[in-house]
Amino acid sequence: MKTIYFDNNATTKVAEQVLEEMVPLFCELYGNPSSMHTFGGQIGRRIKRAREQVADLLGCEPSEIIFTSGGTESDNAAIKGTLAALPHRRKIITTRVEHPAVLTVCRELENHGYTVVEMAVDKYGRLDLVELEEQVDDDTALVTIMYANNETGVVFPIEKIAELVTDRGAVFHTDAVQVMGKIPLNLSKSNIDLLSLSGHKLHAPKGVGVLYVRKGTRLSPYMLGGHQEAGRRAGTENVPGIVGLGKACELAAKNIEQENSKVKYLRDKLEHAILENCPDSQLNGDKENRLPNTTNISFEYIEGEAILLMLDKYGICASSGSACTSGSLEPSHVLRAMGVPFTAAHGSIRFSLSRYNTEEEVDYTVEKMPQIVNQLRKLSPFVAK
Partner 1 sequence: MWEYTDKLKDHFFNPRNVGEIEDPDGVGEVGSLACGDALKLTFKLDAKGKIADAKFKTFGCASAIATSSVLTEMIKGLTLDEAAKVTNKDIADFLGGLPEQKMHCSVMGREALEAAIENYNSGGKKKHELEGNVICTCFGVTDKEIERVIRENNLTTVEEVTNYCKAGGGCGGCQSEIEKIIEKIQGDKITEVPVSALRRAGKLTNIQKIQLIQQTINEQIRPALRAHGGNIELIDVDGNKVIVAFRGMCARCRLTEFTMKDVVEAKLREFISEELFVEEDKESAQQPHNHRE
Q: Which is nearer to partner 1, 109 or 256 (CB)?
A: 109
Phi, psi (deg, nearest 5) at residue 236 = -55, 135
Kindly give, in sequence order, each residue whose CB lies less than 8 Å from that of residue 177, ignoring residues fewer than 6 positions away: 71, 99, 150, 196, 197, 198, 201, 209
Whether 324 is catalytic? yes
In the complex, minimum distance from the CB of residue 103 to partner 1, in angstroms, rounded to a whole number: 12
Phi, psi (deg, nearest 5) at residue 190 = -115, 160
Q: Which is nearer to partner 1, 170 or 248 (CB)?
A: 170
Neighbours of 110 (CB within 10 A): 12
Judge contact between 356 and 258, C-beta under 8 A: no
The secondary element (H helix, E strand) that includes residue 374 is helix 359-379
Per CB under 8 A, residues contacting partner 1 are: 110-111, 113, 115, 117-120, 131, 134-135, 301-306, 309-310, 313, 322-325, 327-331, 342-343, 346, 378-382, 385
The active-site residue, picked from 106, 249, 317, 324, is 324
In the complex, minimum distance from the CB of residue 352 to partner 1, in angstroms, rounded to a whole number: 17
Report the distance separating Cα 33 and Cα 336, nearest Å.
47
- CA 96 centroid distance within chain: 15
Q: Which is nearer to partner 1, 54 or 310 (CB)?
A: 310
In the complex, minimum distance from the CB of residue 305 to partner 1, in angstroms, rounded to a whole number: 4
Sheet holding 65-68, edge to edge: 65-68, 209-213, 194-198, 171-175, 140-144, 91-95, 115-119
Neighbours of 314 (CB within 10 A): 16
In the complex, minimum distance from the CB of residue 125 to partner 1, in angstroms, rounded to a whole number: 15
In the complex, minimum distance from the CB of residue 344 to partner 1, in angstroms, rounded to a whole number: 9
Q: Which is nearer to partner 1, 137 or 276 (CB)?
A: 137
Q: Which is nearer to partner 1, 194 or 307 (CB)?
A: 307
Phi, psi (deg, nearest 5) at residue 65 = -105, 125
The catalytic residue positions are 324
